[in-house]
Amino acid sequence: MKYGMPGLLCMMLAGVALAAGPRAASEQMQASMLVRGSITVAADGSVKSYLVDHPEQLPREVVNLIARNVPKWRFEPVARAGQPVIAQAAMDLRVVAKPLGNDEFALSVAGTNFGRPSSHAAADSPPISYKRRPPPAYPALAANARAWGTVYLLLAIDHVGRVQHVDAEQVNLGVVGGDREMGRWRHALAQAAVSAARDWTFNVPAPASGATSPHWLVRVPVAFTFASGAEPRYGVWHRYLPGPRVMPAWAGKLDSGDSADAVGAGSISAVGEGLRRAKPFEGA
């Protein structure tokens, strides 16, 4: 859907590295916001209802986009004691505005992340939480270039809360430069986040009876920014240049359908425990 939002282009271009030039910036840079809320799914997998947090703080175009799309979604039914039940879960939506020219933008829901359903058996155990999380150092290469962004980590956590494996699944930037520059920035931010995460520890639930997996898989965002706070305030567009998604070999094949960069700041998203879409998500 096309929308005219004159002020948005100025915001996007404000974060562009000078070497890239305005044309390169307008072709690459997008704007994005993360919308948080909850969703209730009926026993047959249809959407029974949904809520977005603080809709009054969101642009009207974003509220309308969500209203047109979310009610049409279908999910795999959630079972309890072998019977399909109504289930509620947290919902994060990555909304993206892509420039079309002439101050027009195409809005879409580019990514989703759903929490553990309230009626799922796993809901009886506490979620994974941080025990010790020393922050990463800002890499000098990125800091000297005033490059900032968010690294989305994929971690394997063992049954005593230690990190077994960790890799950067995706690195999104908030500034534009040449291809080689951006590659170096992404690599530097990813290495800093991965290095710090190796020393993290977590509070983990007791293994379920009959569990065979040697670890839990979780996604965690790590924001590198020069501003106070890890994310702009809720409902505000921010510059967005998504990086390629790279799945580490140790993770195997993941079919949860969640998006790596739809996990909110400070959150821990357990892979495979959330609501599942009936069909793979392809944007909306």
Each residue's pLDDT tens digit, 158-217: 999 999 999 999 999 998 888 899 999 999 999 999 999 999 999 998 775 555 567 899
CB atoms within 10 A of CB 205: 15
As a whole number, mean pLDDT of residues 151-157 equals: 97
Residue 120: the pLDDT is 54
As a whole number, mean pLDDT of residues 211-238 equals: 80
Confidence of residue 19 (pLDDT cuts 50, 70, 90): very low
Is the pLDDT confidence value at 132 over 60?
yes
Dihedral of CA atoms 233, 239, 244, 245 in degrees, nearest 10, equals: 10
Reading the block at residue 187, the tokens are 């690599």
Q: ∠ CA(149), CA(194), CA(205), 5° rounding?
A: 110
Q: Give the pLDDT confidence of 233-263 residue by residue, as tens digits.
A: 889 998 889 999 998 988 887 765 678 899 9
Residue 18: the pLDDT is 39
Mean pLDDT of all residues in the chain? 85
Helix (H, G, I), strand (E, B) or coil at 221: strand
Domain boundaries defined on the chain: 2-118+126-270
Q: Give the pLDDT confidence of 50-89 residue by residue, as tens digits.
A: 999 999 999 999 999 999 999 999 999 998 888 999 999 9
Reading the block at residue 253, the tokens are 């094949």
Is the pLDDT confidence value at 111 over 70?
yes
